Amino acid sequence: MLDHWHDGYSGMSTILKIDNLRVEYRRRELGQPINVAVNGINLAVETGEVFGFLGPNGAGKTTTMNVLLGFVNPTSGSCALFGVDTRQPIARQRIGFLPELTYYYKFLSAEEILRFYAKIFRIPAGEVESRISEVLKLVELDNVRKRPIKSYSKGMQQRVGLAQALINKPDLLILDEPTSGLDPVGRMKVREIIQRLKEEGKTVFFSSHELGEVETVCDRVGIMCAGQLKEQGAVADLRQRYQCDLERVFLKVIGYQPAHG
Partner 1 sequence: MNNALAISTIVIKELSRRKDFYVLFIMTAIITLLMGSVNFFNLQGISKYLKEICLLLIWISSLAIALATTARQIPAERENRTIFPLLAKPVTRWEVVVGKFLGCWFACGLALGLFYLFFGALALTREGQFQLGGVFQAWWLHWSMLAIVVAMTLLGSVVFAAPSSNVTIVFLGVASILLLGRYLHKIAVSMTEPGQTLLSICYFAMPHLEFFDVRDTLIHEWSVPWWACGVASLYACCYTLFFLVATWVVFRRQALN
Ligand X SMILES: Nc1ncnc2c1ncn2[C@@H]1O[C@H](COP(=O)(O)OP(=O)(O)OP(=O)(O)O)[C@@H](O)[C@H]1O
Q: Give the footprint of ligand X on this chain (CB under 6 A).
A: 25, 35, 37, 55, 57-63, 100
Instruction: Determine, following the binding rule CB under 5 A, whether residue 62 of this chain makes contact with Mg ion.
Output: yes
**What angle do helix axes 125-138 and 110-120 make, rounded to 10 degrees?**
130
Contact positions with Mg ion (CB under 5 A) in 72-101: 100
**Residue with smaller CB distance to partner 1, 197 or 253:** 197
Of 55 and 170, the one with the shorter C-beta distance to Mg ion is 55
Shortest CB 58 distance to Mg ion, Å: 8
Our CA angle for 210, 212, 217, nearest 5°, is: 95
Query: Least distance from C-beta 225 to ligand X, angstroms?
Result: 9
d(CA 3, CA 80): 15
By a kind-dependent CB cut-off of 5 to 8 A, residue 37 interacts, out of partner 1, Mg ion, ligand X, none, with ligand X
Centre a 10 Å sphere on the Cβ of residue 109 and count the other Cβ atoms it contains: 20
Helix or strand holding residue 116 (H, E): helix 110-120
Query: Whole-number minimum distance, CB 164 to partner 1, in Å?
Result: 6
- Considering the complex, what minimum distance in angstroms separates the CB of residue 100 from partner 1? 8
Q: Give which of 121, 21, 8, 162 is closest to 80, Cα–Cα.
A: 21
Query: Whole-angstrom Cα distance, residue 205 to residue 221?
Result: 9
Binding site for Mg ion (CB under 5 A): 61-62, 100
